[in-house]
Amino acid sequence: MKRAQPLRRDRARLPAAERRRQIIEVTTRLIAERGFWGLSMQDVADDCGLTVPGLLHHVGSKDSLLVAVLEHRDEADARSLASQLGVPIDRLWTEGPGLVTLPQVCAALVRRNAGQPEIVRLFAVLEAESLAPDHPAHDYFQARQRRIMTTLGALVPPPADGRTVASQVVALMDGLQIQWLRDPDTFDLVAAWDAAADRLFR
Amino acid sequence: MKRAQPLRRDRARLPAAERRRQIIEVTTRLIAERGFWGLSMQDVADDCGLTVPGLLHHVGSKDSLLVAVLEHRDEADARSLASQLGVPIDRLWTEGPGLVTLPQVCAALVRRNAGQPEIVRLFAVLEAESLAPDHPAHDYFQARQRRIMTTLGALVPPPADGRTVASQVVALMDGLQIQWLRDPDTFDLVAAWDAAADRLFR
DNA sequence: AGTCTTACTGAGTACCTACTAGGTATTAGC
DNA sequence: GCTAATACCTAGTAGGTACTCAGTAAGACT
């Protein structure tokens, strides 16, 4: 992580990996602002300090750029969540009961999200946009929802139905996040979640 | 309300009011599918069986078309909700305690929404898109959120904090609706809400 | 120093964007 | 049946869209 922002306009030829990281970072921000339909390759290229064909050289197409952004996020999120809970990444989802509880995971998730509003907005916008079946991220988000429901549901102790609880937890988190994003200065996401969690978990 | 769907392609000259209704109906569907950034006047015109200038003759501009759609929805929703609760429209929000309870309003809302997935999607997509400050519906949704919080919060009995509860209720509804929209065939919105409401309201 | 790889550009394609100006033709009122 | 209002069209503007092709030059390897 060197300086990412003060990019040089005058002929900055970067190694592919670094340029790709920059492109994904910029795209993440722009999708959060305008959605995927509203994203233009021109804008991405401008913010990276290169031309549109130069951008396409790295990402191939607009659709595959979106996929790259999503995959990058999932990877980073899993890594961060694991370290925040003090659990090795490969044990994050495989272990069912005992290792971590659902309230713990949620608290960690919310606290992480509270620090990166742009990423949260990216997912909020794409989550809604991708409801349309022909959206390039439609399948991705459908699979993601299934994955989240099963993995979170597995953390719920037997008496209650795991999927139902997971569904409510996810709904509440998503909804609170949107309210927070609309009014980030006066709405305290962490406090709102903790209050809601008190009600939801018995 | 005559037949709205089988529109005639061959020179159908409609009175302004009727054409406007059709335009709003079509636009509602298309925004639900693609968002506002992804909406094109050409598509709206095509689905109405007229040209783009013909469309602009009625709505003026793309932005004002969006405003018209939103205003139309609010109006229709208020009317429907009032009749579903057996309350006159003007008394819907003005009366605080006693007339209707929060769980009642929520149950009515969810049941109505369960019957119009396209409208729900319209709001889900626009709600996320309009988080960006330069979105034409940004102010509208900010005002809407404030309005909903105060009016729903006023229905909560004194011991609890109205705005907090309202915030949780709205979050849960929004979140469950998205999950439902992603999987409308197997996800039962009304059942999911009733289960969640049981947990949330004591 | 020379070769190979590759990050990147300039020019161009085919098409879509919202929107305007000015006109036509259908309808409503008298 | 005439006139006025208006629903709608054709043509055009100025600009944006993703993407392709062929070439240039910077860096790495030998």
- Reference A124, options A113, A115, A139; nearest CA is A113
pLDDT tier at A6, thresholds 50, 70, 90: very low
Question: What is the C-alpha to C-alpha distance for residues B110 and B127, in angstroms, rounded to an integer?
Answer: 17
Q: Which has more pLDDT, B167 or A82?
A: B167
Give the closest of B121, B145, B195 to A182, CB-based. B145
- Reference A90, options A100, A82, A102; nearest CA is A82
Residue B94 clears pLDDT 80, i.e. is over it: no
Which chain B residues are closer than 8 Å to A179 by Cβ?
Answer: 145, 167, 170-171
DSSP state letters, B81-146: HHHHHT--GGGTTT--SSS--HHHHHHHHHHHHHT-HHHHHHHHHHHHHTTSTTSTTHHHHHHHHH
Question: What is the C-alpha to C-alpha distance for residues A157 and A160, in angstroms, rounded to an integer?
Answer: 7
Give the closest of B37, B183, B200 to A38, CB-based. B37
Question: How far away is chain A from the Cα of B189, in angstroms, using its nearest Cα?
Answer: 11
Q: What is the CA angle B130-A29-A16, rounded to 5?
A: 155
Query: Where are chain B's structural domains?
Result: 16-201
A4 touches strand C (CB under 7 A): no
The 10s digit of each residue's pLDDT in B118-162 is 889 999 999 999 999 889 999 999 999 999 999 899 888 888 888
Residues B23-48 have a mean pLDDT of: 95
Residue B22 clears pLDDT 80, i.e. is over it: yes
Find the closest chain A residue to B40 by CA distance.
A37
Q: Is the separation of the CB atoms in B199 and B119 below 8 Å?
A: no
The 10s digit of each residue's pLDDT in A103-147 is 989 999 999 999 989 889 999 999 999 999 889 999 999 999 999
pLDDT value, residue B97: 53
Both structure tokens of B152:
């729903």
pLDDT value, residue A139: 92
pLDDT tier at A189, thresholds 50, 70, 90: very high
Residues B162-185 have a mean pLDDT of: 95
Question: What is the C-alpha to C-alpha distance for residues B77 and B151, in angstroms, rounded to an integer?
Answer: 15
Both structure tokens of B57:
């003759």
pLDDT value, residue B5: 27
CB contact set of A195 (below 8 Å; sequence gap of 6+): B164, B168
User: Cβ–Cβ of A34/B173 closer than 8 Å?
Assistant: no
- Reference B118, options B17, B9, B24; nearest CA is B24
Q: Which of B149, B167, B173, B198 to mutate to test the interface with A (most CBs of A within 10 A)?
A: B167
Residues B102-108 have a mean pLDDT of: 91
Q: Which nucleotide does the CA of A44 lie closest to, via C1'?
A: D18
* Residue A178 contacts B where some CB pair is shorter than 8 Å: yes
Q: Which of A123, A144, A165, A172 to mutate to test the interface with B (most CBs of B within 10 A)?
A: A172
Q: Is the separation of the CB atoms in B17 and B108 below 8 Å?
A: no
| Mean pLDDT (chain B, rounded) | 88
User: Cβ–Cβ of B172/A170 closer than 8 Å?
Assistant: no
Both structure tokens of B156:
């909560």
Q: Which has more pLDDT, A2 or B29?
A: B29
pLDDT tier at B11, thresholds 50, 70, 90: low
Residues 64-103 of A with CB under 8 A from B: none
Which of A52-56, A61-65, A90-94, A107-111 shows the lowest mean pLDDT across its residues? Answer: A90-94
Which of A1-5, A57-61, A78-82, B173-177 shows the lowest mean pLDDT across its residues? Answer: A1-5
pLDDT tier at A31, thresholds 50, 70, 90: very high
CB pairs under 8 A between A and B: 121
Which of A60-69, B40-49, B55-64, B153-162 shows the lowest mean pLDDT across its residues? Answer: B153-162
Helix (H) or strand (E) holding B149: helix B138-153
Question: How far away is chain A from the Cα of B181, in angstroms, using its nearest Cα?
Answer: 7
Q: Is the separation of the CB atoms in A55 and A45 below 8 Å?
A: yes
Q: Count other Cβ atoms within 10 Å, centred on residue B53.
A: 9
User: Cβ–Cβ of A172/B175 closer than 8 Å?
Assistant: yes
User: Which CATH number applies to A16-201?
Assistant: 1.10.357.10
Question: What is the C-alpha to C-alpha distance for residues B152 and A47, in angstroms, rounded to an integer?
Answer: 43
B8 touches strand C (CB under 7 A): no
Which chain B residues are closer than 8 Å to A35 by Cβ?
Answer: 35, 37-38, 128-129
DSSP state of B50: S
Question: Strand C: which nucleotides have any atom within 7 A of a protein Cβ?
Answer: 6-12, 16-22, 26-28
Q: Count other Cβ atoms within 10 Å, centred on residue B21.
A: 15
DSSP state letters, chain A: ----SS---S-----HHHHHHHHHHHHHHHHHHHTTTT--HHHHHHHHTS-HHHHHHHHSSHHHHHHHHHHHHHHHHHHHHHHHHT--GGGTTT--SSS--HHHHHHHHHHHHHT-HHHHHHHHHHHHHTTSTTSTTHHHHHHHHHHHHHHHHTTS-TTS-HHHHHHHHHHHHHHHHHHHHHSTTT--HHHHHHHHHHHH--
Residues 14-43 of A with CB under 7 A from strand C: 14-16, 19
Q: Is the separation of the CB atoms in A31 and A69 below 8 Å?
A: yes
Q: In degrees rounded to 5, what are phi and psi of residue B149?
A: -60, -45
Distances (CA, A) of A28 to A101, A158, B36: 31, 39, 19
Give burial (CB, 10 Å; 0-12/13-18/19+) of A49. middle
A175 touches strand C (CB under 7 A): no
The 10s digit of each residue's pLDDT in A159-169 is 888 899 999 99
Both structure tokens of A23:
């492109």
